[in-house]
Structure 1
Amino acid sequence: MFVCGWPITLVLFRLFGPATSFPFSTNTPAPPLSSQILPPSTFPSNHPSLPSSLTLSPPISGPKEPEERVHCPLTMSPSSLVVRFGDPVAVNCSLSETGSSLVLGWAVQQDFQQTTVDSFLVWTLDRMNSWNIEAVCFALLEVEGQCQMNLPATVYSPPDSVSISFVDHSGPMSEGRPYTLQCKVQNVAPVKNLTVTFYKGQTALGQQQSNNTNKKPVSETFTLDIRPSKEDDGVQFWCEAKLELGPEGPKPPPVVESQKLNAVVFFGPHLICPSKLKVKEGESFPCEVKGKPRPSVTWYRDGQVVALPAHSNRKHAGKYTIWTKGLGQKNFTVEVEVLSGRGTTNCYTTYIPVAVLFIQMIFRL
């Protein structure tokens, strides 16, 4: 076991090599957590020399699997870092076993920021200004030697804006034809954590994600193919972009919604009427032609333009052709059969006065 009184300067020289400048403005000692004491800023100089047989190598940020796994009694709080670009950072690295370490330190971006002989050390930044951060907490143990723990880090930025539109189309749509919705997301990071959802009203139409692994902000466009129906006339299409950053991320996750896109769908003409129609005498034909724009409708019988009867009778039976013109031109054929007996409406009209007269006669008796 090594003597804890060796000169710390020699330990640092063998451990770190020549000093390099740190790219962040965080070279000042980190403030302590509420329940901790700051490590000493100076170290004793009257300690015995470090044995010449001790050789140390600086920690590396990339993962490397040793032949024999070294017990590393390090813990981090938080265990992973999720920070918005420009926000402050504070991560505590501590030893879970006291009295086992000669040196504890943080290495960030391959430059060593801080070291201590205490059992904990807080790495802090006033402002996160890097999109690809690499931070490692390391320790020189008395028995096991050197060990380290990488800090998983995600630097994020919600989208600046989200918008929705149609690809190469503006104005009304026609039912049954293919169209492509596009959702544009501006300046988001990391885009691989982004989920884009398309909506029709409050109904989700589909979700999409990006395969882009760029950690810096990028802009991407997501598309969805649709075929509108007449029921879609007047609905609103929109999309939302959500950053899914895991359990260490903000709650709720950052979400940015697009504007609502009001859909206008041209459809028809559609004939609302059975092809074989049965009506009673005295009834009208319950036929209607719907469409947008409103179609013009002309009824033919035996090649002649006819008006629909308000009160049908036997002579109105036969084969009718309906010519319509709206979004397109369509012709329909309806065979009408008129049944004997008065229609419902006319029956009520006849029997009500008779019933009233009958009641009056009873009261006179």
Structure 2
Amino acid sequence: MNNSSGDHENIEFGLDIIATEIDGLEALRAVLADRKGAFAAAFDSATELLLRNTGRVIVTGMGKSGHVARKIAATLASTGAPAAFVHPGEASHGDLGMIGAGDVVLALSNSGETAELGDIIGYAGRFDIPLIAMTAGAQSTLARAADIALILPGAREACAITGAPTTSTTMTMALGDALAVTILRRKGFTANDFHQFHPGGKLGAALKHVTELMHHTDMPLCRPADTVAHAVDVISKMGFGCTGVVDDDGALIGMVTDGDLRRHFSRSLKDAQVKDIMTADPQVVRETSLAAEALALLSGRKITAVFIVDENRRPLGLLHVHDCLSVGVL
């Protein structure tokens, strides 16, 4: 397809918009990097308040800020900080009851003068519920009412013609992510914890443990003194393309694959034993490993299967690359 002058103009518009939003993020980064500044102090206080919080984080906002608030609430919840979105309009019609005495309110409004937030602000003040504000209005109603005010630095909206929320929502989104992930790190949140909140999808699959995917019954296993013919029979019967080799203590000391058999095909295997053709000290994976880590090993070593072992290298199961791919581990 031929590029017209309009196509180039479209690209230039797009680049300008992205550059404008990057400028906003750089401004946000700069005020946070000023460790002696008011914004950094407010960010630190907000983080500590949320870490001490024993209830939920009630995130609220109207319009575009409401959409960002929903995302921040979802991010907080997925990283172990109980959170919920409360719509300001619905709050005035009964949903204020969703805000409990042990909660913290995080209110978003670029101007800080969103009328619909009035009842939530009043409710928080009446029942001594801590209020954190995210706003660009330093002297706004929301900022003055907040216990902690995160005042966004001035930034040009990417839609200069209408002033529609663009750069400001990007900055607020990034600030919400910064709070959520800071809390996650401070809590020592692990991949295991994260998996509890993400059991589905590709992310959930990658965070599964190998013990959830491995084959732990009827594992293909041989002894060093077994004949190669016996190993071939085991490999053919089990269908994994390999067999492990264990010693008298049950520890994995070797592995025979289809590839090993092909490499030794030219020599006489009539009287050969498994120990004569096995790959000694094969790659293994510990039972505490994640599926994504195991798949990285399989891919990196260009192998199709790996044994899962305990601390004494005793096989607990076998994981095939297809087991990872079939559940979406990438």
- The interval holding the TM-score normalised by the smaller chain is under 0.3
Task: Identify the structure with the greater strand proportion.
Answer: 1
Instruction: Using structure 1 for the length normalisation, give the TM-score.
Output: 0.23
Instruction: Using structure 2 for the length normalisation, give the TM-score.
Output: 0.25
Task: Identify the structure with the greater helix proportion.
Answer: 2
Larger radius of gyration, structure 1 or 2? Answer: 1
Greater RCO, CA 8 A, separation 6+? 2
